[in-house]
Structure 1
């Protein structure tokens, strides 16, 4: 566009530069006014010195300094083939080049040497578009040879994002120890720790004699707290190669104590991996709601997932059965649904069945059944165990019995019964102890007790307290305290096991019961339930609220997809499923 000014008109011919280059290229092709011949061995390409000098610092230095080539009629280039030279000269005169899988590498090498940075980056962009898990490690190597940081960064991101697929490639076994250490130690690696361990072992065994000395250093990068205990038990704990290394043996023994011992873990040598190492960045917390009664009070099979990153709810695979007053816990990145009454069955009797859900597969499977059929019971998980407590049995009696599931051995076993059989207590595990707060007796009267189970000793004791009057309320561990969330009351009580004292937190808006509660990050999320109105009516809720212990305040997170109560509310930490590479 032309620009007018006080003293005239500034005329801009937008096509002039490109027309000029086009004319110069025509002159070159007809060998008119060309004053230098660029050669690759016997191949000769006539050019104009001023055009080459204007296009590249390399040629500017060659023709405008005191180099021998500045006065020679022919200039010989080395390290470039004739086809690449033709493409480069065409680019100099037209600004165009067709990049393909066949020519991208020689073009990139030539543009790096002759200093054409825009074409170099165009080649890099093309290679980035061709990245796959099977070639990304090779691309990282190539980028280092060519000093191409953009390609290296993108190729490394692919390697970390699709690590399980990359780990299966032959290229991973060819990495040096330093390169493998950089990948295994990266917080951004996206893959289960079982895959990290398998990659480490495959690399060591590929050249055992040369690589055995790196075992301890690399083994410490496997984040053992996030290994499934069954995988650790069967494939790591007694591995002969790891056992042959004294330093790796120390790591293994430390891991065994943390994973399997119900007793405290004594101090261990400095060789242990940091047991409280955080999960990799790819792990996310998801809120899962399942079962319960929705809208018209019909028992539902729905399973809902809430993603904090997107603030969206989505439906997952439905429960295999319509269950009334079952319980659910998370253990080792899976959800276990225990007992309940199967609605619609010919005989409405308590069930001993256990259903296990994998978020990664979005599938349910049948697990080992409980020893006793029960519903309206409570369940909680600790280390590799699930505890199923109390409830109502086949004879409609209130049970005080408890059983424990060992997920490593896949067995249930009876444990000591609670001192007082109660229904609907708040349950949580903290510091090797299982706490039952309140609940109600067979006459639906509140029980003002804290019943404490010492996990390693298999013994109970009880404490009377006037602070407890909760029924149908969840409990969660939030920091160092156990928080009892409502239960026919608006009250939120935080219990400190160390001091055996209660601290009152900010009240909920409503007197609430039959709701769900779970912790994500450092905050408490409460879902659905039923509220007792001021005129003593009961209303079902679709509310979704968040409590921040730092500010002692509540905020609304919006609404659930529908009104819901008597449901399970769980937090599941896992790596989101990465879609197949395009």
Structure 2
């Protein structure tokens, strides 16, 4: 039996050996501290007094020396304090001293908004690293876009790398909110340069431009000389052309700088010239700078026939980083065989057969989707109602081609949408009206591969539209026999993906030659295809079985041109065909993508 008054837990033997038992009293150290604190509070055996001006706190030298390298050096070396009965501490308040001594004797201290900074400074000065890190952790828990820049400056003063690292992460990942804080205006030029040049900054380039202009104009006379170096950090290829046109191109401050004028003119030619822009050697690196790390590729599937039922309004998003699918805001209308394109971080859904309760009619409506807001809005309508048509985007334009019109005729007409001026205009008609061709744009030319005529016979043609000249020509070829197949630009080639066949053809516009790629697993049509990260992703569709029956598919496959191989990415949430499949590069917003 243990002695009376002794806890059985204290008699537990942690290690046994032939030489006996090793006893560990796990409460001994805390009991000892409690007894020492009682002695201190009653002034028993205290041999030194810590003073802050007239405030005095009696302590034990051996306890202080054991708790901190600072006090050990003070009391165990030849410093004069080692023999003095009273030691004056500077740079510490009396309340902070009380809290610090209580921590030394109990291992506890309450950290709050009103005492964290003086405690942290005292812990730094008197060398209590665990208390210092506890204060740092508390400050990290209080970080917000409105105070993170101030916290970074504080972390530099206190040499606290953990606080600095976390505060900087907040500043970068929540930059749009940080940009409107008062602290941003007080940054030095090099500090702002460091943020704007960081690949990890999570904010659209329009916000980067606005932040640097707000900073410059806060003290224009002193900061005007920094305009050129800061403007070069705005990644103009990722600025919306309409924003560039309305808010950047004619800015008086930028126009007053000759070097900024050169950048503006080069950007204007790149953005708005259908021919592209001649290279300017000094400006090539900034123009070809990659997107920031915060930009991600997302795959979006819109509409189509779901599980062989009626046309769906569903919109699905696939996050390549998480491998997860999620539902977004539904299409505003039920549209059969509409077309869709991605342009300037938005999705445009054009035309289609609008399916109503009583009747279904071809539509000329355009719906525009913002992933940032997870919202749809009505865009500028097309000139002609059409469905079963094809659409593609090039620079600031969307081309809507062919399809079936209001009188159920096969259309050869094409119209073009100018996203800067928000207008549609008629363009030259294609030589041969076809349905369901594969369409892609490469090197200022729009290519239509194959398709079918009004009798549903395959058309063995390549029809080519010169974008800048508004002219067409056609080429006959025996290689083409695709119907209801998508085309994508993959590297320097245009890839035609299936179309009642397993075959994948890569077309080189420079040599006008086809190269056969690895076949798909199934004969596939009415499927979707998009490029993300230099790989081709193919979604859903319909497959032709060995006995020539047709089955709907939920397959999700990836083609790697480097290895010329296919791999399965799993399954779509449901079977789907005749849907739009688009890749959209943007900055993820938690409210939309959680």
TM-score (norm 1): 0.98
Determine the C-alpha separation between the residues in 2 that align with 1:234 and 1:156.
32
Residue number in structure 2 paired with 1:402: 414
Paired residues of 1:251 and 1:273 also in contact (CA < 8 A): no
Determine the C-alpha separation between the residues in 2 that align with 1:526 and 1:276.
29
* 2:148 is the alignment partner of 1:136: yes
SS of equivalent residue, structure 2 residue 590:
coil
Residue number in structure 2 paired with 1:574: 586
Q: 1:374-433: per-residue Cα shift (whole Å, max 9, x none)? A: 111100001100000111112222111111100000001111111111111000011111
Residue number in structure 1 paired with 2:386: 374
Pairing of 1:471-486 with structure 2 (within 5 A): 471-486=483-498
Q: 1:529-560: per-residue Cα shift (whole Å, max 9, x none)? A: 11111221111111111111111111111111
Residue number in structure 1 paired with 2:214: 202
SS of equivalent residue, structure 1 residue 211:
helix
Give 1:269 shift. Answer: 4.6
Q: 1:241-295: per-residue Cα shift (whole Å, max 9, x none)? A: 1111111111111111111110131021514662221111111111111111111
Question: Which piece of structure 1 moves more, 113-122 or 415-424?
Answer: 415-424
Q: 1:347-389: per-residue Cα shift (whole Å, max 9, x none)? A: 4331111111111111111111111111111000011000001
Residue number in structure 2 paired with 1:522: 534
Say which of 450, 469, 479 aligns to 1:438. Answer: 450
Determine the C-alpha separation between the residues in 2 that align with 1:382 and 1:6.
85
Residue number in structure 2 paired with 1:287: 299
* 2:514 is the alignment partner of 1:498: no
Q: 1:321-342: per-residue Cα shift (whole Å, max 9, x none)? A: 1111110000011110111110
Question: Which piece of structure 1 moves more, 272-281 or 116-125?
Answer: 272-281
Pairing of 1:201-280 with structure 2 (within 5 A): 201-271=213-283, 274-280=286-292
Paired residues of 2:440 and 2:489 also in contact (CA < 8 A): yes
Q: Can you give the 5+ residue segments of structure 2 that lack an aligned partner in the other structure?
A: 1-12
Paired residues of 2:524 and 2:542 also in contact (CA < 8 A): yes
Residue number in structure 2 paired with 1:384: 396
* 2:74 is the alignment partner of 1:57: no
Give 1:345 shift. Answer: 5.6
SS of equivalent residue, structure 2 residue 110:
coil
Determine the C-alpha separation between the residues in 1 that align with 2:406 and 2:73.
93
Say which of 559, 562, 574 aligns to 1:562. Answer: 574
Determine the C-alpha separation between the residues in 2 that align with 1:540 and 1:103.
66
SS of equivalent residue, structure 2 residue 569:
strand
* 2:152 is the alignment partner of 1:167: no
Determine the C-alpha separation between the residues in 2 that align with 1:403 and 1:175.
49
Residue number in structure 1 paired with 2:548: 536
Residue number in structure 1 paired with 2:5: none
* 2:29 is the alignment partner of 1:17: yes
Pairing of 1:80-119 with structure 2 (within 5 A): 80-119=92-131
Residue number in structure 2 paired with 1:454: 466
Give 1:579 shift. Answer: 4.6
RMSD: 1.2
Paired residues of 1:254 and 1:272 also in contact (CA < 8 A): no
SS of equivalent residue, structure 1 residue 422:
coil
Determine the C-alpha separation between the residues in 2 that align with 1:35 and 1:417.
100
SS of equivalent residue, structure 1 residue 252:
helix
Determine the C-alpha separation between the residues in 2 that align with 1:89 and 1:347.
83
* 2:138 is the alignment partner of 1:126: yes
SS of equivalent residue, structure 1 residue 573:
strand
Paired residues of 2:325 and 2:573 also in contact (CA < 8 A): yes
Question: Which piece of structure 1 moves more, 267-276 or 152-161?
Answer: 267-276
SS of equivalent residue, structure 1 residue 490:
coil
Q: Can you give the 5+ residue segments of structure 1 that lack an aligned partner in the other structure?
A: none
Say which of 288, 305, 318 aligns to 1:306. Answer: 318
Determine the C-alpha separation between the residues in 2 that align with 1:54 and 1:106.
22
Paired residues of 2:308 and 2:552 also in contact (CA < 8 A): no
Determine the C-alpha separation between the residues in 2 that align with 1:431 and 1:344.
41
Q: 1:478-503: per-residue Cα shift (whole Å, max 9, x none)? A: 11111000001000001111111111
Q: 1:71-95: per-residue Cα shift (whole Å, max 9, x none)? A: 1111111001111111111111111
- Equivalenced residue count is 580
Paired residues of 2:503 and 2:519 also in contact (CA < 8 A): yes
Paired residues of 2:308 and 2:576 also in contact (CA < 8 A): no
Paired residues of 2:302 and 2:315 also in contact (CA < 8 A): yes
Question: Which piece of structure 1 moves more, 145-154 or 5-14?
Answer: 5-14
